[in-house]
Amino acid sequence: MIIVCQKFLKNTKINGITLYPFIFIKNPEDKRNRVLINHEKIHLRQQLELLIIFFYIAYILEYYYHFLQLKDGHRAYLAISFEREAYANEQDLDYLKKRNFWSFWKYLRK
């Protein structure tokens, strides 16, 4: 895992984004934000489990599926199973040690 501070996030609402194998963060002080880094590490694990490319395909498809239903970009983002898993477990800094393979599956909305 590599953490890179990027100025391209400065004018966005995004504090961090994971594009395997990198975690890009907006603010240098967020390198010490253990919750944010844990959230992004969960995405790294998800990406590896889906062989990276399939993660991005599933992420985009799921986003548009929810967007068409909800008509709201932010709510669609929050409904994505990968984000639901990451947000639900970002405070648990030991989550990745006990996480089961494909745990995001249980966060899919029925």
What pLDDT was estimated at residue 92? 98
pTM summary value: 0.94
DSSP state of 52: T
Instruction: Give per-residue pLDDT as tens, 12-21.
Output: 889 999 999 9
Three-state SS for 20?
coil
Instruction: Kindly tell me the burial class for residue 42, based on how many C-beta atoms sit within 10 Å of its own C-beta (0-12, 13-18, 19 or more).
Output: buried
Three-state SS for 80?
coil
- What stretches of the chain show up as alpha helix (H) in DSSP? 34-49, 53-70, 73-79, 81-89, 95-98
User: How confident is residue 47, by pLDDT bands cut at 50, 70 and 90?
Assistant: very high
User: How confident is residue 3, by pLDDT bands cut at 50, 70 and 90?
Assistant: confident
Instruction: Give per-residue pLDDT as tens, 55-102.
Output: 999 999 999 999 999 999 999 999 999 999 999 999 999 999 999 999
Extents of the domains making up the chain: 2-107
